[in-house]
Structure 1
Amino acid sequence: MRSPGERQDAPPAPARRSGAASSAIMASGTLVSRALGFVKTVLITVAIGSVTTVSDVFELANTLPNLIYVLVAGGIFNAVLVPQIIKASRTADDGGADYISRLLTLAVLALLGVTAVVVALAGPIVRTMGTDWTEAQLSLGLTFALFTFPQIFFYGLYTVVGQVLNARGAFGWYMWAPVVNNVVAIAALLVFIQQFGAFAEAEHSLDDWTPAKTFWLAAMATVGVATQALVLFWPLGRLGLRLRPRFGWRGIGLSTAARLAGWTLATGIIANLAFLALTKVAAIPTGYRPEYLAMDPPQQIAGVAALNQASMLYSLPHGVIGLSIATVLFNRMAAASTDGDRAGMVASLSSSLRITGVATVFATVALVVFAGPLGMLFSGGVPSAGAVIGQVVTVIAIGAPFMSTSFMLGRAFYAQEDARTPFLVQVGVALFTVACALLIASLAPPHLVIFAVAGCYAAQNILSTLIYHLVLVRRIGDYDLARIMDSHARILVASLLAGVVGAVALFLLGGYDPDGFPWTNQLTAIATVAVGGTVMGIAYLGALRLCRVRELDSLVRPVLARLAR
């Protein structure tokens, strides 16, 4: 029964869910998605290899849509549209149905326009990114791009619809939808391997590439991204908002929101332009691969695929641990800043930096120790390729702890409602990145380009950490730096002790012998990482106790609590 004064057309209120339950659902979706994404990446290397021309061309074509989306539209959606959706959902009498309908209509039209322009310019874009590529490589790159560039539309659709669901309390769908994407991609890759054979057997190359292979590799990658977006319309329909196309966007507040989000938008654009410059440089080795393979003996040369695989590994500690802690950190710091509680803000920042270090410093040492088997895991079953990837992992891993540290120091400024400082820091880092890109492109020989780019990745994080530190000290003074450094020194000693144990375990497993067990195939590489990593992990727990690192309990406690939930 409705009360006489209740609106008849109001949608049902979103179901309330406890913060703990929502966090558990979102975290589990993220973990499952990352695990399946890891499997997908491994299967790609099984299908088309890793240090190969086809893998590099596909990796670039499949990476560009995400980069272009974030550069052109991602910042606008996240900084402008998403806050407006949340505000309308909470304040409008109709639950924001009319407002959200207008925003969705605008977003769909804008995405269609952007995607159409990018697809029309696919040829020039591929030629710009693959400056040193042969005509055959450019031709395959254009073919892949025509199938993958439509992903731009579906990335945007996923973001907007997902945030509508989040605003209405349906948190789980947004985090679990990428699982569907990975399942579709994994299924397609299994069909590819079944139909055309694994790379270790068939060695797919430009000469024997067929339209059927393009369909199962590139077209199905886009089908996965499309499914990720379209699956969200089912829970969206269950909200009862009765959304429909609505036109007319004058006076709905978007210009005001854009001005308020200007610094955030500019920061994202600067960062992604610099990253795009590095990606262009990383594509250089692909054009020289035929020349290196013609040497006697043939020489493996790392390309975009090897760089992205190493980047995925080194960013895992931040993605799994750093971001989770940073979310809690930001809320606490923002509350302390609002209350003028400097001591509370410093305590939250110090605690989070110390706790995160327990995971990220150890992960860096573990990546270096097991770089070979990890490289073999992504090698497509070719030991020489695994060795090259492992070397890239070793270089890039140095920046892993600084990625989380820089991110958290940046959150300290956002907590004080200061988006200008992170923008200026990003400008400085971007200038450094572009300078590195120019130097690498002009000075580094092709077989060292990816190593130089990996070093630039690490240097970026170190530089941004130093800049944030200097500015933050001037802003709030000492933020418990002595205690942070003491904890990290203890953590580093414990990690190095565990690293020695891990290196011994790897030696006993034959990791330092080119004909040893870890280098047999990808399954033996997995077994090596599992066994050696477990031994090293146990040694690390003991070393943390020996070095009296108290932050271990603070890291483990919320993880155990989440598992219990």
Structure 2
Amino acid sequence: TVLMSIATPVLTMLYAGGSAEMQTLTCSFTLWCMPQIFFYGIYTVLGQVLAAKEHFAMYAWSSVAANIISCLGFGVFIIIFGKANRMPLSFWNGNTLLLTAGFWTIGVAAQALVLFLPLIKCGIHYKPSFGIRDIGLRSMGPVAAWSMGIVIVTQIVVMITTHITTSVPFVAEKRLGLDQFEVAGNATYQNAYTMFLLPYSLVAVSVATAIFPKISRSIASHDLHSARNDLSEALRHVSIIMCFFTVIFIVIPTPISLALIPSISVQEANLMSAPLMMLAFGLPLTSSYLIIQRTFFAFEDGKSPFIFAAAQLLTELFAFVCCINVLPPTYWVTALGSSVSISYFLTFPSLVHMLRNRFNNDLDDRNLAITHIKITIASIVSIVVGLLVSKPLLHVLNFNSPHMHGILRWVYAILICAITTIIIAVVYLSALLLLKTRELVDLSAPIISKLAQKIPALAPLAKIFEETAKSQSQHEQKNLRIPRRIQSDAKYHDSSNSKNF
């Protein structure tokens, strides 16, 4: 944290484009945010300790503390200064920086420090130790080194892309004579990327955190069969949820942008829509990679994730550079979102190949393939129906009218999101149910059963899910067979004296 704070001016020069005044402001914001490195480190370490102890509640909810504190700062900012859009750079001073970047850093600190409470309840008491002996570096050293490599490669690519996106408004003004505020730049992309990360953070990170200890225990006991089944189940369940969010982002990008970020205008939301849609196509693969990465870590393998990350990031950078040399500046941010998704599609097979080698060439391929084919069909149907519903709805509500009041537009955005999401959910779930998707029953049956106890109208639906679950269970028992690689698993088990998995 100290080194990064000292290097802030250099980092600002590398990452941020634009005028000297803009770089100075960026440097000020960065200095306020640098302590977050230390507190995010504490949060990550304590969170993983709690996850290993299977205490997930406080780890999952600690981010609420950060959000409350940061929202408090932003709330005071809005009360005093309003939206503060299109303000000169001189507007930003110590007070405005404190209420924005300062409160954000305080929130991150609270998010980390609050985890000491459940840690103490687990019987683990913090004792400062300034040495590096007996902290697991012998076994985790290589994994940590490869992980650091991922961070370095990621930051190099982010540095290049961020430098370009921060320069887009200035380039567009110079080349095309456009108003800088009418061109999608780095702020637009960051807003779109933040929305893209919402389901990723809520679902993929939660599943990866919960499944990692279980897979680690199976691999540590050389039970590849159980680890494979847990991994396959996690990937299939996450894909069902993530593809639903992909459909939502593709169908209603502008309304959902306005609903989640009410301070922006329709024009700003429209600028966010294209990169958000492009990022959404890669959401399922991005989420799957996180779970697969944790699985490699359970094998104490950091090299395979590094190889994939390097290939994916370099592919992303190559695609982005090609795009900016062909397209006008107004499309550069959208091109970046497209490059991210394209890079995952092109490089993901290599990740699967490396993962298959870890599981003796058996990844439960049949179940994974069948489930993802069903999910793809359901997603396409949902996108078509969603577009047929949302377009007339936007027209009837006159949503894009420049004369609509800001609060009314926000209410309409929420209304459109609610109606469209409900319709898409019904179509998506119905399609998966018609395709007899077992994972849907696994996810939904317990929830619907509990709801049916309180809402009698849901009893018929609960009965359908119950009968489907029984039918699938009988079908699985009829077709139950010994895994075709069980012999390889046995050999793996016999190698318990080997240090290398």
Shorter-chain TM-score tier = 0.7 to 0.9
**Do the aligned residues in 1 keep the contact of 2:60 with 2:206 (CA within 8 Å)?**
no
Aligned partner of 1:124 in structure 2 is 10
For 2:198 and 2:70, locate their aligned partners in 1 and report how far apart those are by CA, in whole Å.
Answer: 21
What residue identity is the alignment partner of 1:458? S
Aligned partner of 1:529 in structure 2 is 417
Is 2:216 the partner of 1:318?
no
Where 1:509 maps in the other structure, the secondary structure is: helix
Q: What is the aligned counterpart of 2:166 among 253, 259, 283?
A: 283
Is 2:102 the partner of 1:219?
yes
Aligned partner of 2:187 in structure 1 is 305
Long gaps (5+) in structure 2: 454-501
Q: What is the aligned counterpart of 1:360 among 235, 242, 246?
A: 242
Q: Residues 290-311 of structure 1: CA distance to partner in whole angstroms, max 9, x if unpaired?
A: 6589638x87211222222222
Q: What is the aligned counterpart of 1:456 among 339, 343, 348?
A: 339
Q: Residues 17-74 of structure 1: CA distance to partner in whole angstroms, max 9, x if unpaired?
A: xxxxxxxxxxxxxxxxxxxxxxxxxxxxxxxxxxxxxxxxxxxxxxxxxxxxxxxxxx
Shift, 1:273, TM fit: 3.9
Where 1:510 maps in the other structure, the secondary structure is: helix
Q: What is the aligned counterpart of 1:136 among 12, 18, 21?
A: 21
Mapping of residues 270-419 of structure 1, within 5 Å: 270-288=153-171, 291=174, 295=178, 300-327=182-209, 329-330=211-212, 333-334=215-216, 337=219, 343-377=225-259, 378=261, 380-419=263-302
**Do the aligned residues in 2 keep the contact of 1:518 with 1:524 (CA within 8 Å)?**
no
Long gaps (5+) in structure 1: 1-114
Aligned partner of 1:556 in structure 2 is 444
Q: What is the aligned counterpart of 1:151 among 36, 57, 78?
A: 36
For 1:164 and 1:405, locate their aligned partners in 2 and report how far apart those are by CA, in whole Å.
Answer: 23
What residue identity is the alignment partner of 2:153? I
Structure 1 residues 410 and 451: CA distance shift in structure 2, 3 A: same
Aligned partner of 2:365 in structure 1 is 481
For 1:268 and 1:234, locate their aligned partners in 2 and report how far apart those are by CA, in whole Å.
Answer: 30
Identify which range, 479-488 or 284-293, moves more after superposition.
284-293
Structure 1 residues 294 and 208: CA distance shift in structure 2, 3 A: farther
For 1:340 and 1:165, locate their aligned partners in 2 and report how far apart those are by CA, in whole Å.
Answer: 24
What residue identity is the alignment partner of 1:358? I
Mapping of residues 91-102 of structure 1, within 5 Å: none
- Computed over aligned residues only, the root mean square deviation of the Cα atoms, in angstroms, reads 3.7
**Do the aligned residues in 1 keep the contact of 2:192 with 2:275 (CA within 8 Å)?**
yes
Where 2:250 maps in the other structure, the secondary structure is: helix
Q: Residues 186-213 of structure 1: CA distance to partner in whole angstroms, max 9, x if unpaired?
A: 11111111111124xx643325444432
Shift, 1:546, TM fit: 2.5
Structure 1 residues 381 and 311: CA distance shift in structure 2, 3 A: closer
**Do the aligned residues in 1 keep the contact of 2:275 with 2:335 (CA within 8 Å)?**
no
Aligned partner of 1:97 in structure 2 is none
For 2:428 and 2:54, locate their aligned partners in 1 and report how far apart those are by CA, in whole Å.
Answer: 40
Is 2:73 the partner of 1:188?
yes
Structure 1 residues 230 and 550: CA distance shift in structure 2, 3 A: closer
**Do the aligned residues in 2 keep the contact of 1:425 with 1:464 (CA within 8 Å)?**
yes
Structure 1 residues 409 and 238: CA distance shift in structure 2, 3 A: closer
For 1:412 and 1:224, locate their aligned partners in 2 and report how far apart those are by CA, in whole Å.
Answer: 31
Is 2:421 the partner of 1:421?
no
Mapping of residues 70-109 of structure 1, within 5 Å: none
Q: Residues 507-540 of structure 1: CA distance to partner in whole angstroms, max 9, x if unpaired?
A: 2322596329899633321221112111221222
Shift, 1:543, TM fit: 2.2
Q: What is the aligned counterpart of 2:141 among 242, 256, 259?
A: 259
Shift, 1:243, TM fit: 5.5
For 2:222 and 2:341, locate their aligned partners in 1 and report how far apart those are by CA, in whole Å.
Answer: 35
Normalised TM-score (structure 2): 0.76
Aligned partner of 2:459 in structure 1 is none
Identify which range, 449-458 or 501-510, moves more after superposition.
501-510
**Do the aligned residues in 1 keep the contact of 2:242 with 2:284 (CA within 8 Å)?**
yes
For 1:253 and 1:344, locate their aligned partners in 2 and report how far apart those are by CA, in whole Å.
Answer: 29
What residue identity is the alignment partner of 2:237? I
Is 2:402 the partner of 1:497?
no
Where 1:494 maps in the other structure, the secondary structure is: helix
Query: Percent of aligned pairs with the same residue?
Result: 26
Of the two structures, which has the highest relative contact order with CA contacts closer than 8 Å and spacing of 6 or more? 1
**Do the aligned residues in 1 keep the contact of 2:46 with 2:115 (CA within 8 Å)?**
yes
For 1:450 and 1:558, locate their aligned partners in 2 and report how far apart those are by CA, in whole Å.
Answer: 42
Shift, 1:149, TM fit: 2.0
Shift, 1:116, TM fit: 2.6
**Do the aligned residues in 2 keep the contact of 1:379 with 1:389 (CA within 8 Å)?**
no
Q: Residues 394-430 of structure 1: CA distance to partner in whole angstroms, max 9, x if unpaired?
A: 1111101111233344445444443332222223223
